[in-house]
Amino acid sequence: MTSFEDCVVFASKSLGLDFSLKDKQLETLRALYNGHDCVSVMPTGYGKSVIFQCLPWLFQCKRGLQYPLITLVVSPLTSLMQDQVMTLCEKGIKACFLNCEGTHGSTYKLRGEEENDSDDDQDKTDVHASCSTSLIDLQRGAYNIIYAHPETLLNNRNISSMLRSKLYKQRVCAVVIDEVHMVSEWGMSFRKAFKKLSELVCIFPLPDTVHLAMTATATPTAIKELVEDLQFTDTTTITVNPDRPNIKLEIQTRLPNIRKYEKLDELLHPLAQELRDLLSCFPLTIVYINQLEALGYCYQYIEDF
């Protein structure tokens, strides 16, 4: 069996990563490599996706296979799936997302991959066209990373029999539930399929398939409930401290106005002054204002300062 370190090198190379993985990304991969289910709680932007994107190659290498395996990713939003599939396709990775009805998948073709294109010099990174992929392609395992809504995976007859096929049973090395806080937020009422995701865990049990749940926000109690809901076994929990010392949050309350918004001036003045002094060195700042009209006032104040 190939060592964990060699498998990580192989997976990073196959995915075309131009950075080294962070400690907690590696810790999650190691737990999965060792056959544990995993819950990873990592802040927004930490790099959760790359962990599960590595898995088809990590397990290919571990098992000494000639072909990459399949990771199934449950995701709550089509736009998230589109973004990730597009980025993966740009790198030549076979990724797609299933439509809600479970009748086909969608992927992206780079301009250079279009059929009658023989011009090797063409820039392959600029334009990608969305294209449909048939159930037949999906059934024969043409995709290594497959994204889908929980409803598609659980409520559709064609997809259900595809998942239970011999090929999928052999090739699905990981089931991933991204944005897993949705299980408790939406599972009871709005999108009940989130509450039934343990079915997927049962179709693809350990040790052949590992299970990974990821989120940016979960308390220890929420994690405990999730593990029970999803029927994870032998679970390792990996958390990253969400504190970002370079981010400052401040709430300012203005005094009641006598004239329209003049009490806002006291809050805006130091901000506008600092902005004028520091110009492009002014720290990246977001000002939330709870009324549209007051927002217009603030904009004009800074503009005229």
Ligand X SMILES: Nc1ncnc2c1ncn2[C@@H]1O[C@H](COP(=O)(O)OP(=O)(O)OP(=O)(O)O)[C@@H](O)[C@H]1O
The binder of 47, among Mg ion, ligand X, none, by C-beta within 5 to 8 A per type, is ligand X
Question: Angle, nearest 10°, between helix axes 78-90 and 49-63?
Answer: 50
Binding site for ligand X (CB under 6 A): 19, 21-22, 25, 42, 44-50, 216
Residue 170 or 217 with smaller CB distance to ligand X: 217
Q: Minimum distance between the CB of residue 84 and ligand X, rounded to whole angstroms?
A: 8
In the complex, minimum distance from the CB of residue 165 to Mg ion, in angstroms, rounded to a whole number? 29
Q: Which does 86 bind (CB under 5 to 8 A by kind): Mg ion, ligand X, none?
A: none
Rounded to a whole number of angstroms, the minimum distance from the CB of residue 45 to ligand X is 5
Angle between helices 292-304 and 262-278 in degrees, nearest 10: 40
Tokens of residue 292, six digits:
């549209």
DSSP H/E element including 100 = none
24 vs 48 by CB, closer to Mg ion = 48
**Burial classification of residue 126, based on how many CB atoms lie within 10 Å of its CB (0-12 exposed, 13-18 middle, 19 or more buried):** exposed
Shortest reach from residue 19's CB to ligand X, in Å: 4
Q: What's the chain's length in residues?
A: 305
Tokens of 205: 């049990």
Question: How many residues sit in the footprint of Mg ion (CB under 5 A)?
Answer: 1
Q: What is residue 109's three-state secondary structure?
A: strand
Residues 6 or more apart whose Cβ sits within 8 Å of residue 104: 98, 132, 133, 134, 135, 138
Q: At what angle do helices 4-15 and 49-63 cross, to 10 degrees?
A: 120
Nearest residue to ligand X on Cβ basis: 47
Judged by beta carbon, residue 47 or residue 112, the one nearer ligand X is 47
Shortest separation between residue 22's beta carbon and ligand X, angstroms: 4
Residue 46 contacts which entry, ligand X, Mg ion, none (Cβ below 5-8 A, type-dependent): ligand X
Structure tokens at 179: 């944005």
Residue 87 or residue 158: which is nearer to ligand X going by CB?
87
The phi and psi torsions of 155 (rounded to 5 degrees) equal -110, 5
**Interface pattern 36-65 for Mg ion (x via CB under 5 A):** ------------x-----------------
Provide, rounded to whole angstroms, the least separation between the CB of residue 214 and ligand X: 7
Structure tokens at 259: 């004239």
Beta carbon nearer to ligand X, 45 or 245: 45
* Residues of the shown chain interacting with Mg ion in the complex, contacts defined by CB under 5 A: 48
